Amino acid sequence: MTNSLNVAVIGAGVAGLTTARELLRENHRVTVFEKSGQIGGTWVYDNRVEADDCLHLNPNRTVVHSSIYKSLRTNLPRQLMGFSDFSLEEKTYGDPRLFPGHEEVLKFLKDFANEFGVGEVIRFNSEVVRVESRGGEFVVEWKTTEGGLVEEDFDAVVVCNGHHTEPRVADDVPGMF
Q: Is residue 39 part of a domain?
A: yes
pLDDT in tens, 11-59: 999 999 999 999 999 999 999 999 999 999 989 988 877 666 555 566 6
Identify whether 1 is part of a domain.
Answer: no
Q: What is the pLDDT of residue 158?
A: 97
Count of domains observed in the chain: 1
pLDDT of residue 92: 72
The answer to whether residue 85 is domain-embedded is yes
Sheet holding 126-134, edge to edge: 126-134, 137-144, 147-154
Residue pLDDT, tens place only, 71-128: 999 999 988 988 989 999 887 788 888 999 999 999 999 999 999 999 999 999 999 9
117 domain-assigned: yes
pLDDT tens-digit readout, 155-165: 999 999 876 55
Rounded to whole angstroms, the Cα distance separating 102 from 104 reads 5
Q: What is the CATH number of the domain that holds 154?
A: 3.50.50.60
pLDDT of residue 165: 59
The model's pLDDT over 126-160, given as tens digits with 9 standing for 90+, comes to 999 999 999 889 999 999 988 889 999 999 999 99
Cβ-contact 63, 165 below 8 angstroms:
yes
Q: Is residue 166 part of a domain?
A: no
59 in any annotated domain: yes
The pTM is what? 0.85
Residue 176 domain-assigned (yes or no)? no
Q: Is residue 173 part of a domain?
A: no
Distance CA 127, CA 149 (A): 10
Domain that holds residue 61: 6-159
With a CB cutoff of 8 Å and minimum separation 6, the contacts of 3 are none
